[in-house]
Amino acid sequence: MVVGFMASRTGRWLRIVTGSCLVLGGLRAGSAKGAGLALLGLGPLVAASLDLVLMGPLFGLPMRGEDIRRELGVNEEASLLNGHRRAASSRAAMLLH
């Protein structure tokens, strides 16, 4: 399903790259049409960064990517960086108490 792909990690990265290309291409054009293209590119860029799938409600699914993945039964945690997290230093761990 299209919405399931868009909610996946790969789909989110694809939307981020596509939105970034539209923004950069529009700004590079330096015209009114280019500015419109740059504004259009902000949609997929921001939505993917916030883990939103704006087409979800059109298919009867929630808008939040996490909710879509849960409803479709996808076990993938869609962290953009593949679950990589920096280990907290011991000093940071002590300050968190």
- 97 residues of the chain, pLDDT tens digit each: 788 888 888 999 999 999 999 999 999 998 999 999 999 999 999 999 999 999 999 999 999 988 888 888 877 665 667 655 555 555 555 555 5
- Can you give the pLDDT at residue 44? 94
- Can you give the pLDDT at residue 73? 83
- Contact (CB, 8 A) for 34 and 26: yes
Q: Tell me the C-alpha to C-alpha distance, in Å, between residue 19 and each of 10, 33, 62, 94.
A: 14, 16, 22, 40
DSSP 60: T
